[in-house]
Amino acid sequence: MKTLEEGGRLFLQGGIACSEGAIAAGCRFYAGYPITPASEIAERMAERLPTLGGTFLQMEDEIASICSIIGASWGGVKSMTATSGPGFSLMQESIGYACMTETPILVVDVQRAGPSTGQATKCATGDLMQARWGTHGDHEVVALSPNSVQEMFDLTVRAFNLSEQYRVPVILLADEIVAHMRETVDVPPFERIELTSRRRASRRDEPPFGGVGDEGVPPMPPLGEGYHIMVTGSTHDEWGLRSTGDPEIHRKLVSRLVNKIRRHAEEITDNEEQNIEDCRVGVVSYGCVSRSVYEAMRRHPELRIGHLRLKTIWPFPEKAIRALAERVKTIVIPEMNLKQIYFEVQRASGRESDLAPINKIGGGLIITPEEIASKVKEVSS
């Protein structure tokens, strides 16, 4: 098996690129449960991690998978799991636990057609709202959306960096098409990849769950060194001591957990913009469908499409949406779901009309370049 540490130009499948990105990011613990279309990620990790001093576990279910990566992350090891819709549903409670305990983990959700078992092998992008609100209570997570095999590598690295920087679970919202397709990838030598690691507590008087203002990220102490850390999903004070009744302690904790992401949305969000300066119609896309937008623009330059591709879904890139809405009369929103991001664009742009959705579900059929072009033509006339 060729390993990629030296870097180079390779022809890889999306799932494999994700695994290699994780390894490049320093991930040394993977726990997962088989599920289509995410199993390739696990299989690659099973092959690779034991050669790198890492641990691969196939767990009894997705709940155990996410719980063990939370344990391993507290043990000081960068950790991840990968799944698809049904498994992602099972993980929701623990995603909330990771938010509340500020545990850095990566959860890859390779989206397929739901709800329920749906069409297990077919592509869809119907889990965006679940990624945002799947777990109960006020919280914020980070969710990234790759659209190529290259980004399955790059955004996996970025996902780990963000999770370590903000001590937050990060969700890589891949989709079946992106995870299963094969493309050329430029892999930099691993040693040259910029990595972020959690800030370690170095002193006993640094609280692990606060003491950093109302939007800060506290340092994470190591286990086994006498810090006597209390990790709990119950509301806790800055030292981790449970406080199940005090309104102020709850307000302070949960507000900070939300603020540390919301108030840093500008640093976290990352979009691709094409032809925004000179466009007549805007298109907002993400994931595999953005590939059809590229092709529609190539085939139909006369349509003067301005493309805003969301590489970050959560926090939602409101500023970029507003900027696009100020430039164009109409925004086309192609989605492989029934208007999940449409309403977010409506909210962020402040528009009630002039939003043109294209929604296609079932059979994993991607929205084609011509479908996008004809919608753009329709709204331009």
Closer residue to other proteins (CB): 235 or 312 = 235
Closer residue to other proteins (CB): 31 or 261 = 31
Contact 187, 10 (CB under 8 A): yes
Closer residue to other proteins (CB): 90 or 181 = 90
Distance in angstroms between the alpha carbons of the first and the last residue of the chain: 55
Contacts with other proteins by CB under 8 A lie at: 1, 3, 29, 31, 47, 50-51, 53, 55, 57, 59-61, 63-65, 67-77, 79, 93-94, 97, 223-234, 241-242
**Which residue do the tokens 């919202």 mark?**
173
Instruction: Please state, in angstroms and rounded to a whole number, the distance separating the CA atoms of residues 162 and 140.
Output: 13
Closer residue to other proteins (CB): 94 or 292 = 94
Q: Give the shortest CB-85-to-other proteins separation in angstroms.
A: 21
Instruction: Please state, in angstroms and rounded to a whole number, the distance separating the CA atoms of residues 301 and 281.
Output: 12
- Count the alpha carbons within 13 Å of 278 in the hemisphere toward its beta carbon: 7
Closer residue to other proteins (CB): 97 or 286 = 97
Q: Give the shortest CB-199-to-other proteins separation in angstroms.
A: 18
Instruction: Calculate the CA dihedral of residues 14, 19, 25, 28 and round it to 10 degrees.
Output: 170
Q: Give the shortest CB-250-to-other proteins separation in angstroms.
A: 16
**Backbone Cα Rg of the chain:** 21
Q: Give the shortest CB-52-to-other proteins separation in angstroms.
A: 9
Closer residue to other proteins (CB): 58 or 380 = 58
Backbone angles phi, psi at 105, to 5 degrees: -145, 160
Question: H-helix or E-strand containing 100?
Answer: helix 92-101
Contact 144, 158 (CB under 8 A): yes
Residue 133: count other Cβ atoms within 10 Å of its Cβ. Answer: 13
Closer residue to other proteins (CB): 195 or 230 = 230
Closer residue to other proteins (CB): 51 or 381 = 51
Instruction: Calculate the CA dihedral of residues 369, 120, 107, 127 and round it to 10 degrees.
Output: 60
Instruction: Please state, in angstroms and rounded to a whole number, the distance separating the CA atoms of residues 180 and 84.
Output: 13
Q: Give the shortest CB-105-to-other proteins separation in angstroms.
A: 10
Q: Give the shortest CB-106-to-other proteins separation in angstroms.
A: 14
Contact 313, 263 (CB under 8 A): no
Q: Give the shortest CB-62-to-other proteins separation in angstroms.
A: 11
CA distances from 148 to 90, 199, 266, 311, 316 (A): 27, 31, 23, 11, 20
SS3 311: coil
Q: Give the shortest CB-72-to-other proteins separation in angstroms.
A: 4
Closer residue to other proteins (CB): 121 or 244 = 244
Q: Give the shortest CB-370-to-other proteins separation in angstroms.
A: 47
Enumerate the β-bridge partners of residue 240.
none
Q: State the amino acid at position 195 in one-letter form.
A: L
Instruction: Please state, in angstroms and rounded to a whole number, the distance separating the CA atoms of residues 217 and 59.
Output: 31
